[in-house]
A and B are shown apart, each in its own frame.
Chain A
Amino acid sequence: MSNYEELLNEIAKMLFRELEEREEEVQRMVSQLEVDEANYKNLMVREVVGDITVDAQFAFPPMRNHTPEEVKAKALTVFRKKFDRDKRLFY
């Protein structure tokens, strides 16, 4: 597994933890949806990871445009925006 893939895996685990901390909100949203909780979480993590994949690729040599920590911070920002979007739409 390459450096950026490892970073993406780490970010995915971090996002799943974020979702676990929002269990109640997730359950409330899922009750309005057809997907189950596990699939909701998978879709959310996939969506965020998809958004920051290029940043992750550019965080390692030869590019090094930003640090892995900056990519993680961006992933959290993207996640919060998307989670807030879902709350506005599905609450």
Chain B
Amino acid sequence: MCSSPSEFYVFKFRPSSHSDDYTLIATYKGAVRAEKVEKALQKLLKDMKDHCDDYDTDWSPDEASFSISGNKVWFEVYTAGYLDDIESILRKVAVPEEVECYRDYQELTVRVRVPRGLTPESAMLILDKEEAEAIKWFKENCGEPKVEDCEDGAHQTLEWFYSGDGIYSESTFYLGFEFYVGDRNYWEVE
């Protein structure tokens, strides 16, 4: 955090012409702090209703949702980036260890079935180019996969858990390139 007037940096949520489902996840040292922030968010949304002219947002308080899970506070709303009032609460009421911001937040479990004994590296050699690129992407972004043997004894699954910005819709991954898995039954996405 900067301390002198000349070292400020701008808030990261600059409104755009495009709206998305935004998810903010603030992590605090302990659940007590998270509960305090949750109460402040409740108060803020009520204040938005009572003083709507004082807020420059493109969403109504009724459209927003928030919850706490342990030491984390989740806030979700569909917006073009009008989130500075929310971030103000998340950062002032308690000092967060981290505030994450996602667009179209997703949690996915991705499994690909390969012949038993195949490492991700060797799978990248025998699968087609798109699949190799996808495996490389998951390795880089989600780490090494969990490997589990299949019941048939001849195959195993490489499994990654992903959480973050939306990357999957209608059987297609958007990983900087489009990767359609609808016709590849050895790929599974939950």
Residues of A within 8 A of B (CB): 8-9, 12-13, 16, 33-35, 38-40, 42-47, 49-51, 53-54, 78, 81-82, 84-86, 88-90
Interface footprint category on B: 20 to 34
Beyond the given pairs A44-B88, A86-B92, 15 more chain A to chain B contacts, judged by CB atoms under 8 angstroms and listed by A's residue number, are: A8-B10, A9-B6, A33-B92, A33-B93, A46-B10, A47-B88, A49-B10, A50-B10, A50-B13, A50-B84, A53-B14, A81-B55, A84-B54, A85-B47, A85-B51
Enumerate 11 A-B pairs (CB-CB under 8 Å) in ascending A order: A16-B5, A33-B93, A34-B93, A34-B94, A44-B88, A49-B10, A51-B11, A51-B84, A85-B51, A86-B88, A88-B51
Residues of B within 8 A of A (CB): 1-3, 5-6, 8-14, 33, 40, 43-44, 47, 51, 54-56, 84-85, 87-89, 91-95
Q: Flag if A46 contacts B92 (CB, 8 Å).
A: no
**How far apart are the CA atoms of A33 and B40 in the complex, in Å?**
10
Q: Flag if B6 contacts A12 (CB, 8 Å).
A: yes
**How far apart are the CA atoms of A8 and B12 in the complex, in Å?**
15
- B89 contact set on A, CB distance < 8 A: 89
**How far apart are the CA atoms of A50 and B1 in the complex, in Å?**
15
The A/B interface has a contact count, at CB < 8 Å, of 80
**How far apart are the CA atoms of A34 and B44 in the complex, in Å?**
17
Query: Known contacts A33-B93, A34-B33, A88-B51; is A49 also within 8 Å of B11 by CB?
Result: yes
| Nearest CB on B from A11, distance (A) | 10
Main secondary structure of the interface of A (DSSP, over half): helix
- B85 contact set on A, CB distance < 8 A: 82, 85
Q: Flag if A46 contacts B9 (CB, 8 Å).
A: yes
Out of A39, A54, A85, A86, name the residue touching B14 (CB < 8 Å). A54
| Nearest CB on A from B139, distance (A) | 36
> Taking CB as reference atom, which chain A residue is nearest B9?
A46
- B6 contact set on A, CB distance < 8 A: 9, 12-13
Query: Known contacts A33-B92, A34-B95; is A12 also within 8 Å of B8 by CB?
Result: yes
**How far apart are the CA atoms of A21 and B150 in the complex, in Å?**
69
**How far apart are the CA atoms of A12 and B5 in the complex, in Å?**
6
**How far apart are the CA atoms of A40 and B94 in the complex, in Å?**
11
- B84 contact set on A, CB distance < 8 A: 47, 50-51
